[in-house]
């Protein structure tokens, strides 16, 4: 993955979605800097370049069903919603989920469905997904996410230890799973059955 964002659709979505609405009022002045910001519950909204780069890797064309694990502020889901048919997003912290849902309504992003659950189990009901994006870092790629990925399908997920991870690009093709490692990243912990323990 290169740091340059060249997909015009991704750039347009980044320009369209009002990032300042997804951060606390106190942080709004810094919402457009290229850095992560706190969103409550010890969680962070990823820096814009990481959001754009992970989105670009998924090569969305507008017709996809996309699963996101780690709704957080809802910002990444909002970006995805401009670029695919439907976004399914799972968050384990209720207050964050509630805040994100409010924003989706306010901004009329009606093609996002959000659910409170352990996202390491995926979201079986609507599987398979053409693309999956995980925005928290875990020790391994959760098995249910590989199972719920369509064939062909692609997933981007940070895997590593608690402090630093490597972005993994997972492709399912003709029944095979191919994994490429991209760059080093720092995400908050993916907590759950197939993630860290609390």
Is residue 118 a contact residue for ligand SAH (CB under 6 A)? Answer: yes
3-state secondary structure of 59: coil
Count of Cβ atoms closer than 10 Å to residue 95 Cβ: 11
For residues 110, 40, 16 and 36, what is the CA-based torsion angle, rounded to 10 degrees?
-140
Q: C-beta of 190: minimal distance to ligand SAH in Å?
A: 4
How many other β-carbons are positioned within 10 Å of the β-carbon of residue 71? 28
Which window, 25-33, 72-80, 106-114, 172-180, contacts ligand SAH (CB under 6 A)?
Answer: 72-80
63 in catalytic set:
no
Q: For the chain, how long is the longest CA-to-CA vector?
A: 49
CB closer to ligand SAH, 124 vs 151: 124
CA 85 to the chain's CA centroid: 15
Of 27-35, 115-123, 158-166, 171-179, which part binds ligand SAH (CB under 6 A)?
A: 115-123
Q: Provide the binding-site residues for ligand SAH, judged by CB under 6 A.
A: 39, 43-46, 69-70, 72-73, 75-76, 90-93, 96, 118-120, 135-136, 188, 190-192, 195
């Amino acid at each position: 993955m290169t740091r340059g964002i060249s997909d015009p659709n991704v750039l347009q979505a980044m320009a369209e979605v009002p990032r300042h609405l997804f951060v606390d009022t106190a942080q709004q002045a810094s919402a457009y800097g290229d850095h992560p910001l706190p969103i409550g519950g010890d969680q962070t909204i990823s820096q814009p370049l990481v959001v754009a780069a992970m989105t670009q890797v998924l090569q969305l064309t507008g017709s996809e069903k996309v699963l996101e694990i780690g709704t957080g502020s809802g910002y990444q889901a909002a970006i995805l919603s401009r670029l695919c048919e439907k976004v399914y997003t799972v968050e384990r912290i209720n207050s964050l989920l509630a805040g994100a849902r409010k924003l989706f309504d306010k901004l009329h992003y009606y093609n996002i469905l959000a659910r409170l659950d352990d996202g390491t189990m995926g979201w079986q009901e609507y599987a398979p997904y053409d693309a999956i994006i995980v925005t928290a870092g875990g020790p391994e790629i959760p098995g249910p996410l590989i199972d719920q990925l369509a064939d062909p399908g692609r997933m981007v997920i940070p895997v590593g230890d608690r402090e630093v991870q490597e972005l993994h690009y997972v492709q399912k093709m003709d029944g095979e799973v191919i994994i490429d490692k991209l760059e080093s990243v720092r995400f908050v912990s993916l907590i759950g059955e197939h993630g860290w323990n609390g």
